[in-house]
Amino acid sequence: MSRLRREQIVGLLMTLPALLLLSIFFLYPLFNSFWMSLHKWPLFGKPKWVGLDNYVWMINDERFWQCLKFTLVYTITVTPMLFIVAIGTALLCNVKTWGTTFFRSIYFLPVVMSFATASFVWLWLYSEWYGVIIFLLKAIGFGPEDGQLSVWTDGWTAMWAVNAMVTWKFAGIQMIILLAGLQSIRDDYYEASRLMGASRFQTIWNITLPLLRPSIALALILSIAGSIQAYEQFQIMTRGGPMNETKTLVMLTIGMGFDYFKLGPAAALGVIIMSILFVITLIQLRLFRKAY
């Protein structure tokens, strides 16, 4: 056996565990999900080929559009919140001075907590009887005098309440991404703008942000992808909210598959979610094409 041949085989063997895991637990389910979505799956008996019926059924169901609409509204509202906080803290941390490292660690801290734990923490904060946020809001003057102030009775306020939690939790990751981008901007640019007498705001607007494009693109893509797949935060905090107003696409998928045992439509939903993500990511990459 030639030396090259032996090297190739040993190399392949080394990557084999990873490839095996990938094939069994990722590639196979990936193709299977397309396959499953094209069949009807009775509990007993053989699966029946139905072609695109599951997709047609799903698209004709109001539940799908309600969840899709909410998922998109949620994504559109939470993304700017996350971004603004992230860029703000990133700019703040982009200085070489005592305390910066400390501040940065704190801003990143909520990220490491699990999503579920963060949901519990904020559920307690928002508790309509004993929660401290409700207490503070009432002190400022919100809510009826005698009644209970609850953020969960209206779908809109429920969403914003959850947005606050998500921003607190994930701004840290975006901050790190943006920070890395900020640090790669060479000091000459800042020198030049300072020499030209630009104000801080002008510097940020004309120099920093454009040069930050690739990092912004990455941060946004990750953020939007995550928002479209929202599940835990709403499952734990609102359980779909008042009358399904805060039900997300993923919640619908899981319900369809595991509560109603309609496996075909559930798989179809999974494929639809994948496609939506694919299209949105593609659009974002296009928009940011001009990045350096």
178-217 positions binding another protein, by CB under 8 A: 179-180, 183, 187, 190, 200
Give me the sign of the Cα torsion angle 110, 116, 120, 123.
positive
Among 1, 2, 95, 286, binds another protein (CB under 8 A): 95
Minimum Å gap between C-beta 73 and another protein is 19
Residue 77 or 203 having the CB closest to another protein = 203
Task: Tell the smallest beta-carbon distance from residue 289 to another protein (Å).
Answer: 18
User: Contact between 4 and another protein (CB under 8 A)?
Assistant: yes
Residue 82 contacts residue 111 (beta carbons within 8 Å): no
Minimum CB separation of residue 131 from another protein in Å reads: 8
Contact with another protein (CB under 8 A) among 168, 217, 223, 227: 168
Query: Which listed residue (107, 161, 170, 220) binds another protein by CB under 8 A?
Result: 107
DSSP string, 149-210: --TTSSHHHHHHHHHHHHHHHHHHHHHHHHHHHHHTS-HHHHHHHHHTT--HHHHIIIIIHH
- Give the total of residues touching another protein (CB under 8 A): 108
Residue from 176, 211, 212, 217 touching another protein (CB under 8 A): that is 176
User: Which of these, 100, 108, 87, lies nearest to 208 by C-alpha position?
Assistant: 87
Q: Which stretch binds another protein (CB under 8 A): 71-79, 90-98, 155-163, 282-290?
A: 90-98
Segment lying near another protein (by CB under 8 A), choices 71-79, 155-163, 258-266, 282-290 = 258-266
Q: How many Cα atoms sit within 13 Å of 127 on the Cβ side?
A: 8
Shortest separation between residue 53's beta carbon and another protein, angstroms = 11
CA distance 23 to 266: 22
The binder of another protein chosen from 195, 259, 286, 290 (CB under 8 A): 259
CA distances to 109, 120, 215, 275, 277 from 113, in Å: 7, 11, 24, 30, 26
Rounded Cα distance, 25 and 11, in Å: 22
Q: Is 15 in the site for another protein (CB under 8 A)?
A: yes
Nearest to 251 by CA among 270, 277, 224, 264: 270
54's tokens: 């599951």
x/- map, 119-138, another protein, by CB under 8 A:
xxxxxxx-xxxx-x--x---
Note whether 38 and 54 are within 8 A (CB): yes
Q: Which of residues 35-54 bind another protein (CB under 8 A)?
A: 36, 42-44
> Which residue in the set 22, 56, 282, 285 belongs to the binding site for another protein (CB under 8 A)?
22
State which of positions 69-88 bind another protein (CB under 8 A): none
CB of 218 to another protein, least distance (A): 10
